Structure 1
Amino acid sequence: MRGRKKAFVLLLMGLLWLYGCSSPSLDSEVMTDIEEESGFDIGEELVYERSMELQYAENFKVDYYEGGYTMLTITMDGTQFLIVPQNGDVPLTLDKEVVVLERPIKDIYLVASSVMDIFSELNGLDSITFSGQKEEGWFIEAAREEMNKGNILYAGKYSKPDYELLVSNHCALAIENMMISHSPEVVEKLESFGIPVMIDYSSYESHPLGRVEWVKLYGALLGKEEEAERIFTDQAAILERVSASERTDKTVAFFFITSNGMVQVRQSSDYVPKMIELAGGNYIFQNLGDPETKRSTMNIQVEEFYASAKDADFLIYNSSIDGGVSNVEELLDKCELLADFKAVENGNVWCTTNDMYQQSLAIGYFIEDIHAMIQGENDDMNYLYHLDNVRRTSNDVSP
C-alpha cells in the first residue's frame, strides 16, 4: 500500500470523525470514498491479544491484535504504526495519528545505518529499496551487493533526500536515526509527500542489549518475530557467559582524537561504558557528562583527558570517524601526550574495527572482545585489534 494512499485514508477518516456519526448516510458515503480511493476496506475495531515481552529495551513496544494486526509504538516520540495483514481491513476506530502499513512491507528508505545489519540478519533486505548511504559507505557486505545489483538505490543522505526518486518509486516508509533531529524540515517534507517517518531510538537505550533488542521491533515490522528472537537470544547468551566471570579492577579509556585536537569520550551513562562494565572492567570516567541530555559523547581538552586517563590500564581508540590507526606510532602522531600513558608504556592499546558501528547485532561479541582484552586472552577478536610497534618513549612528555 503506497504512502499517499495511506495518508488519504487517515485524512478521510479524520473527516469522518470531524463530522461525527449523526448521519448514517454521510458515514456510509465517506466510508465508500475511503475504500474506493485508498484500496483499503474499513473493518471493525481492533481486539487486543497480547504484547511482546521485552527484557532490556525501553523505547518501543509491540502489541498484537486479533486477525494478524500488529501495532508498533515508538515510546520516545509517541508515533505508532499499525501493520495490517495483506488484503486486511483498516479498523474504523483507528486513531487518525496512527500510520497504516500493509504487508508485505516494501520500498523502505533506510537512513539509520545501524539498522541495515538487522535487516540483513533477518533476511529482509528485499524490503529496502532506498539507502541513505552510498555503496562504498557500507561495511555490511550484503548491502553492498544489493546496491551493486541495483536492488537498493542511493536516495541521498538524511539531510538531503532525493525526494523525486522516493516519490516516483513509491517509497512507503523512511527509517531515520537521531541525526534527523538536526533537519526537522526533512521529516515535514517527507510526510507531506505521504512518506511516513520512523525514528530509530536504539542509541538511547541504557543497556547495550536494549540496543540489540530493537531487532524485535524490526522483526515485528517484517513479520519475522521468530528470527528476531533467535538473534537476540544468541547475543544475550554471550553476555551471560561473559558476565559469569569474575570482575576485575582494570580501567579502560575509550576515546577519539578530533581534527581540532580535542578528545572525544563517552559520557558515563552511555552504552559503551556499560559494555566495559559488563565485560568486567571499569570505565575510567565514572561521572562524566549529564545523563539527562541523552548524548553519547562529549569533547574534552587533552589536558583533562591526560589528568583522568593517564593511568588507565587499557586504551581503546574509536575508529568510527577517521578509520582508525594501524599502530601506536600513528596514534602518537595524533597526540604526543599519549606516549606518557600507562597503557602505551605497557602495550595495552587497542582500536575498534571500522565496521563495529554498523554491526548493531554484534554488541555481545564486542563485550566478549573487551572481556578477552582485560583477561589477556587476545586471540580471535571480532571488533578489536591490538596496536603494535611502539617506537617512542615518554621522553618527559607532559601536559
Structure 2
Amino acid sequence: MSFLRTRAKGHTATLLCTLLACVAIVLAGCGGTSVTSAASAQENYVVDVQLSGGSGRASVSSPCTVVKDGDSYVATLVWSSSSYDKMTIDGKDYVPTTTDPGSTFEIPIKLDCDMAIQAETTAMSEAHTIEYVLRFDSTTLVAASDAGNSSPDSDAAKSQAASTQVGDFHNTDIGCGWQPTGTVELAYATHFTIDAFEGGYKLICVSNGERFLMVPEGGEVPDGLSSDISAICLPANRTYLVSSSTMCLIDAIGAIDNIKMSATKAEDCSVAGFAQALQSGAMVYGGKYSAPDYERIASEGITLAIENNMINHNPDVKEKLISLGLTVLTEQSSLEGTVLGRLEWVKLYGVLFGSEDKAEQVFEAQRASIEAVAQKNASKDSSIKVAYFYINSNGAAVTRRSGDYVAQMVRLAGGTYALDDTQEGSGSTSSVALEMEQFFLLARDADVIIYSSSIDDSVHSIDDLVAKNNLLSQFKAVQSGNVWSTGTNIYQQMTSSAEVISELSQAIEGSDGQGFTQLTKLN
C-alpha cells in the first residue's frame, strides 16, 4: 500500500513542479507587468440548463458545471445518450470529451438567451443532425462549492457539490441522536464511507450526497431518522442491478443470489455467474437504465436498484422507481482515481449483502496481487511510453486523462502515460477527445499502443487501426508492431485489474502476447 501511495505522490509532485515551472515562465515573459493568471481568474459554477427541439426523447443533465473565465463561460454538457458525436455552435464543431456515461461536450455558452445548436447522432442507421435550443438560466447560477445548498431537492446539484468537495459528504448525524460505534477502514476509496452503530445498524454515505441506513434483519427503522436517509431493510435480496461494472465484485463475494433483475442481457455479460443466472431464469432482464420494465420490477417485488451515474440523465426514471417503493443507490466507483479505490467498493457490497468478511478477503487479495505486480515493475525503465485510446465516429482520439485509474495502471505496469506531459490531464471528465493532429503530436513517439475495444470493437489488425486515420501509420508503435487491443468487456472485469497490469507490463517488455487473456496483440 505504501509503495502505491509513494508512486502516486511522486507523480503528483512531478506534475506540480511542471505546473509551477510553466507559471514561472509565463510570469517571466510578462516583463514585470502586474497580471492575473488565467487559472486564478477561473471560477467554477453550476447552472440549470433547458433543452428544447428534436423529438423530445433526448435530454441533457441539469444543472451542469460551468467554468467562468473573465466574461466567458464554458459548460460541460452531458447528453442522455452516448450516440452524439458532434455539436455545432455558431459554425464551429465540437467533439465529445467522453461518451461515458453519456456524450459529454465542453462548449462556450451565453446566459439567458436561446442558443441554437446542431447535434449529430449516430443512434440511427446513419448519422443525423438535429436542431436544438439550449438556454442557461443565470438566476440558478451558483458557486460549485455551494451547489448542495442552492437547491435542496436537486439530486444533480447534490451530486455536483459532492464531487467537487468529496470530503464533505461524510455525515454521521442520522437525526435520532445515535452515535457511531466505529468506522469501516478504507485504504483507497474516497467516494463512500461506512459507519457502524449499535445493534448491527450501518450507515453508508456516498459522495453524491446519498445516505443509506442498513437495518439488520428483524430490526426496525429508528424514529426520527433524517429525511435524506433511505433505510434498506436487510436482507437486500431483491435487487435490480444496473451498474454492470459492479457485477464482478458482487460475484466475487458470492452474492449473486441477491440480484433478481439485471439491466445487462446474458449475451452481453462477461461475468459467468451472472450470465448463468440470466440463462437459467434465476435472474431476469429488467430493461436498460433509461427504460426499465416497471411492470416486471413491481411483479418481482424488487426493493433496491443499484445504478451508475447514467441515472442522473433520466431523473424521471429514478423518480418512478422510488414511487414503486424502490431504494435507489447510485454507485460512484467510476470516479475513483485509483485501481484499488474502485476495487474497494467491494466493501460496500459486502455490507449490502451480508458478506463483509468475504469482501475484506477479496479486497486484500486484489491489493496483494496489484502491489506485487507494481513492486515487480518498480525498477523498470519508465521511459517506455504507452498510448491508450480509441477513435470516435468523428475521427477524434478519445483517451483517458492522466489522473484517471487507466493512466495509473500504465504507471504501475512500469510505463509512462502518453498524456502525462500535457495539461489535458485536468478536467471535469475522466476522458478527453483530441483532434488527430493534436494527438499525433502527443503520442506519435509512444512505444506501445493500447486500443480500447470496449468502446470501439472495429479494430482487429494494425491495418484496421491505420484505416481510421493514415497519421497513425507514422506512430512509432505502429511501425514497430507493438499495438494491442483490450477485451470488449474490460470494464466489467474490475477484479482482473492485476492481470491487466501484468499483461501490460509484459507488453511493455516486448512480449508476443501468447497466453494473454486481457490484451490481444494486433498484427
TM-score where L is the length of structure 1: 0.82
Aligned to 1:365: 499
Out of 470, 483, 486, the residue aligned to residue 336 of structure 1 is 470
Whether the aligned pair in 2 keeps the contact of 1:317 and 1:324 (CA below 8 Å) is no
Aligned to 2:358: 227
Q: What is the alpha-carbon distance in structure 2 between the residues aligned to residue 220 and residue 61 of structure 1?
A: 11
| Aligned amino acid, residue 520 of structure 2 | Y
Aligned to 1:139: 270
Out of 287, 291, 304, the residue aligned to residue 156 of structure 1 is 287
Out of 185, 188, 203, the residue aligned to residue 53 of structure 1 is 185
Aligned to 1:9: none
Q: What is the alpha-carbon distance in structure 2 between the residues aligned to residue 292 and residue 265 of structure 1?
A: 13
Out of 87, 98, 101, the residue aligned to residue 232 of structure 2 is 101
Which segment is superposed worse, 101-110 or 208-217?
101-110
| Aligned amino acid, residue 358 of structure 1 | Q
The answer to whether the aligner puts 1:119 opposite 2:286 as a matched pair is: no
Q: What is the alpha-carbon distance in structure 1 between the residues aligned to residue 514 and residue 367 of structure 2?
A: 22
Q: What is the alpha-carbon distance in structure 1 between the residues aligned to residue 193 and residue 220 of structure 2?
A: 23
Secondary structure at 1:194 match in 2: coil
The answer to whether the aligner puts 1:289 opposite 2:420 as a matched pair is: no
| Aligned amino acid, residue 133 of structure 1 | T
Q: How far did residue 379 of structure 1 move?
A: 4.4
Q: What is the alpha-carbon distance in structure 2 between the residues aligned to residue 135 and residue 238 of structure 1?
A: 29
Which segment is superposed worse, 189-198 or 321-330?
321-330
Q: How far did residue 252 of structure 1 move?
A: 0.5
Out of 516, 519, 522, the residue aligned to residue 381 of structure 1 is 516
The answer to whether the aligner puts 1:349 opposite 2:483 as a matched pair is: yes
Which has more helix, going by share of residues? 1
Report the identity percentage.
Answer: 39
Secondary structure at 2:506 match in 1: helix
Secondary structure at 2:221 match in 1: strand
Deviations 1:234-267 (A, max 9, x none): 2211222122231321100001011222211112
| Aligned amino acid, residue 448 of structure 2 | F
Q: How far did residue 47 of structure 1 move?
A: 4.9
Which segment is superposed worse, 166-175 or 240-249?
240-249
Out of 337, 344, 358, the residue aligned to residue 213 of structure 1 is 344
| Aligned amino acid, residue 66 of structure 1 | E
The answer to whether the aligner puts 1:243 opposite 2:374 as a matched pair is: yes
Whether the aligned pair in 1 keeps the contact of 2:237 and 2:353 (CA below 8 Å) is no
Deviations 1:160-179 (A, max 9, x none): 11112112222111111111
Deviations 1:338-391 (A, max 9, x none): 111110111111110122110122222212221221123444333111112xxx
| Aligned amino acid, residue 307 of structure 1 | L
The answer to whether the aligner puts 1:171 opposite 2:302 as a matched pair is: yes
| Aligned amino acid, residue 365 of structure 1 | E
Out of 185, 190, 196, the residue aligned to residue 316 of structure 2 is 185
Secondary structure at 1:260 match in 2: coil
Deviations 1:111-155 (A, max 9, x none): 100011111111111111111112211111211111111111111
Q: Higher relative contact order by CA 8 Å / sep ≥ 6: 1 or 2? A: 1
- Alpha-carbon RMSD: 1.7
Whether the aligned pair in 2 keeps the contact of 1:45 and 1:92 (CA below 8 Å) is no
Deviations 1:318-355 (A, max 9, x none): 01123253321222222222111110111111110122
Whether the aligned pair in 1 keeps the contact of 2:458 and 2:464 (CA below 8 Å) is no
The verdict on how the C-alpha distance between 1:290 and 1:194 changes in structure 2, with shifts beyond 3 A counting, is farther
Whether the aligned pair in 1 keeps the contact of 2:424 and 2:432 (CA below 8 Å) is yes
Aligned to 1:63: 195
Q: How far did residue 108 of structure 1 move?
A: 0.8
Structure 1: any 5+ residue segments left out of the alignment?
1-43, 389-399
Secondary structure at 2:460 match in 1: coil
Q: What is the alpha-carbon distance in structure 2 between the residues aligned to residue 387 and residue 155 of structure 1?
A: 37
Q: What is the alpha-carbon distance in structure 1 between the residues aligned to residue 489 and residue 301 of structure 2?
A: 31
Aligned to 1:73: 205
Q: What is the alpha-carbon distance in structure 1 between the residues aligned to residue 357 and residue 482 of structure 2?
A: 41
Whether the aligned pair in 2 keeps the contact of 1:99 and 1:196 (CA below 8 Å) is yes
Deviations 1:254-283 (A, max 9, x none): 010112222111122211111111211111
Q: What is the alpha-carbon distance in structure 1 between the residues aligned to residue 204 and residue 269 of structure 2?
A: 27
Q: How far did residue 305 of structure 1 move?
A: 1.4
Q: What is the alpha-carbon distance in structure 1 between the residues aligned to residue 485 and residue 293 of structure 2?
A: 36
Aligned to 1:39: none
Q: What is the alpha-carbon distance in structure 2 between the residues aligned to residue 87 and residue 238 of structure 1?
A: 39
Q: How far did residue 46 of structure 1 move?
A: 4.0
Q: What is the alpha-carbon distance in structure 2 between the residues aligned to residue 341 and residue 359 of structure 1?
A: 29
| Aligned amino acid, residue 405 of structure 2 | Y
Q: What is the alpha-carbon distance in structure 1 between the residues aligned to residue 458 and residue 223 of structure 2?
A: 54
Out of 436, 451, 454, the residue aligned to residue 317 of structure 1 is 451
TM-score where L is the length of structure 2: 0.63
Q: What is the alpha-carbon distance in structure 1 between the residues aligned to residue 488 and residue 188 of structure 2?
A: 27
Q: What is the alpha-carbon distance in structure 1 between the residues aligned to residue 408 and residue 215 of structure 2?
A: 38
Secondary structure at 1:232 match in 2: helix
Number of positions where the alignment pairs a residue of Structure 1 with one of Structure 2: 343
Aligned to 2:87: none
Whether the aligned pair in 2 keeps the contact of 1:254 and 1:266 (CA below 8 Å) is yes
Q: How far did residue 307 of structure 1 move?
A: 1.5
Secondary structure at 2:228 match in 1: coil
Q: How far did residue 190 of structure 1 move?
A: 1.4
Secondary structure at 1:89 match in 2: coil
The verdict on how the C-alpha distance between 1:324 and 1:56 changes in structure 2, with shifts beyond 3 A counting, is farther
Which segment is superposed worse, 225-234 or 325-334?
325-334
Secondary structure at 1:67 match in 2: helix
Whether the aligned pair in 1 keeps the contact of 2:370 and 2:497 (CA below 8 Å) is no
Q: What is the alpha-carbon distance in structure 1 between the residues aligned to residue 427 and residue 224 of structure 2?
A: 37
Structure 2: any 5+ residue segments left out of the alignment?
1-175
Deviations 1:86-125 (A, max 9, x none): 1112222322221111221111111100011111111111
